[in-house]
Structure 1
């Protein structure tokens, strides 16, 4: 069996752990930071959404450039800009300036994560793609567990200034680790047209888009929703991430052995069940159950979807294929945060959970063209 755990794969995976820790430290704390500045729920959603929607515009271009010029230059430039953006949060004085910085931060996120994930797919043996993507995704999972908890602890015991400084340091460590990895991809000589989208992964990208509309609303507003029912949001993220960490490597192996369909379809059903549970949660027990179910469903589907994406794409178009999938992810998160931000402002968090998240996702899942691909 071909070797998976090479030095470069380990360095990239650990580097991604540090990068995503920095990212997730801001996810539950930035809405609170905006509220402290006097922002509304709609501005919270707009700020979070602006970050992801910027990535939507940048990722397709980055994906084509990766296939033409290679991965390394974009990993370095993306991480350097990410570090700078993290540090500049210390100097934010108003909502308008914050929106501008969120756009810059979104660009850095698109460049760094697209180039890193594409480089990792180059390192994973094709026969162990699901397993490799499962373990690589686990680094993001651990960040989901520790990042929000560390972020909340820092703002409670230290300050927002310390939060942004620590996040910048973690991002710098990610840069140093990735610099030590060997990137196997070498672009072919001669000018080639830069592609912006990989048509072969359109059904999968459509499915991912609808999945992440709900995900964007949950990750943005669970901290505020949990506070409204007197539950620590860190509990949700911890239970969710712990379940993800357990399910992803296992689901990746199952996808390699039995095919992606075997994993994706049941995982989507469990995800819907998690949203139903969350919609009726009134205390800690309901939040914990929904987090565990969401971790199983979402965590199982993601590595299988990534594996299917790489399998369907041409070997010379892995960059644009990864960018297409990530674009669908960011667009779903961005639109979910913005739309559900307006809903929560004019109704309530309870209405947002019961009347918007679950019916929207379940209806779209039933209509999803990706399910025809899966079957």
Structure 2
């Protein structure tokens, strides 16, 4: 029998969400994302100051994304078979060591090589955090819990880039990397004060041991997570187009500071996540995903027509509401569909789809922009939201008809 996935979950007694472990883990995740987000707008400048061309600057993002994508399935496998605390610590230490090494890299090749290793640490760490928090959140409050947990990364997304640029401009790259490392170390220290629940393991017997060994690579991907991960990939394509090209879009249409989009988007996401999570838990995914994707599509289309800071902020509000509703709901749905002993693989499958979508958006939409304009590129990217509606609508019809 396959996984039974009702549109609306059963209502049960409400268990406790705000445990000591959940709070500490969320704060630890916040410091990791602060360390990471500080470097997103500043490392390209670091490479450019070393004489790197546009290709080298673009590789700063793509190399990191590729290595994180490659690392996630193996991290998920390790999380399902090893002590999850050890996997998290390995990822965090690797991430911190790489953050401390950029200042000493003397060539662009060395920077990009370190960036590749940095992505591996990021892929392991974020997959581990997502898996561990899914152990800590009660199933009946998973949507709400994932929403609150996601606020930590959204807070970092809103403010860390501004802090990183300020430190870079006023103090230089040395202090920038020092602060980034310090934040990562704080996250590592906090992770040691968490009581890690014993994860549920798959039933073992001598008869199926050879089969499990033979299916090591097949076990890297959680099949039950493929459908919500596909939906995540679709919306992350639009996100890849935004993070990669919105600065160039601003220059094209004459908007001076496109940073307002990121700030407005992040603030609205923070306001949306808790409400959307509770709605997911009470009503089911359809009540969140359908209005969420409509708002997200509206945000992309409004962005394509934006030519003032005000219109840019309006687009950010719609996109932030949509993304803040859809992304944590899809992640909670991913966890709900997976068996407890497969949560590591489920999280890695989900985040890999997220990374892959960003990469597809950066490359595919960039080709469209080169042949037309950035405004038209964003209108084309809205096709992904239409595809989301078609695929998800097909799922709802099929599910209700018990096909």
- What's the TM-score once normalised by structure 1's chain length? 0.92
Which stretch of the first structure deviates more once superposed, 343-352 or 79-88? 343-352
Q: Relative to structure 2, which stretch is displaced further, 303-312 or 178-187?
A: 178-187
Contact 1:270/1:294, CA 8 A, preserved across alignment: yes
- Which residue number corresponds to residue 265 of structure 2? 240
CA 1:37–1:222 in 2, change beyond 3 Å: closer, same or farther?
farther
Q: Which residue of 1 aligns with 2:295?
A: 270
Q: How does 1:313-324 map to 2 (within 5 A)?
A: 313-324=338-349
Partner of 1:204: 228
Residue of structure 1 in register with 2:11 after alignment: none
Would the alpha carbon gap of residues 335 and 164 (structure 1) be closer, same or farther in structure 2, given more than 3 Å must change?
Answer: farther
User: Alpha-carbon deviations, 1:83-102, whole Å to 9, x = none?
Assistant: 01111111233332222122
Alignment map for 1:1-375 (pairs within 5 Å): 1-186=14-199, 188=201, 193=213, 194=216, 195-226=219-250, 229-341=254-366, 349-354=374-379, 356-359=380-383, 361-368=384-391, 370-374=392-396
Cα distance in 2 for partners of 1:265, 1:148 equals: 31
1:18-76 CA-to-partner distances (Å, cap 9, x unmatched) read: 11111111222333333434434443333212211211111111111111113111110
Residue ranges of structure 2 left out of the alignment (5+ in a row): 1-13, 398-403
In structure 2, how many angstroms separate the alpha carbons of the residues matched to 1:301 and 1:175? 29
Q: Distance in 2 between matches of 1:122 and 1:203?
A: 21
Distance in 2 (alpha carbons) for counterparts of 1:127 and 1:337: 37
Report which stretch shifted further, 64-73 or 212-221. 212-221
Supply the distance in 1 between the matched residues of 2:70 and 2:393 (Cα, whole angstroms): 26
Contact 1:198–1:321, Cα closer than 8 Å, also in 2: yes
Bigger CA radius of gyration: 2
TM-score (norm 2): 0.86
Distance 1:63 1:203, change over 3 A: same
1:185 counterpart SS class: coil
Q: 1:89 to 1:47 in 2, by over 3 A?
A: same
Moved more, 24-33 or 34-43: 34-43
1:264 alignment partner, SS class? helix
Instruction: Give unpaired runs (5+ residues) of structure 1.
Output: none
Give RMSD over aligned pairs. 2.2
Q: 2:18 is paired with a residue of what secondary structure?
A: coil
**8 Å Cα contact 1:114-1:323 kept in structure 2:** yes
Contact (CA 8 Å) 1:14, 1:139: kept in 2 or not?
A: yes
Aligned partner of residue 220 in structure 2, secondary structure: coil
State the alpha-carbon separation in 2 of the partners of residues 17 and 371 from structure 1. Answer: 35
Distance 1:273 1:345 in 2: 24
d(CA) in 1 for partners of 2:375, 2:153: 29
Q: Distance in 1 between matches of 2:357 and 2:231?
A: 10
Q: Number of paired residues?
A: 372
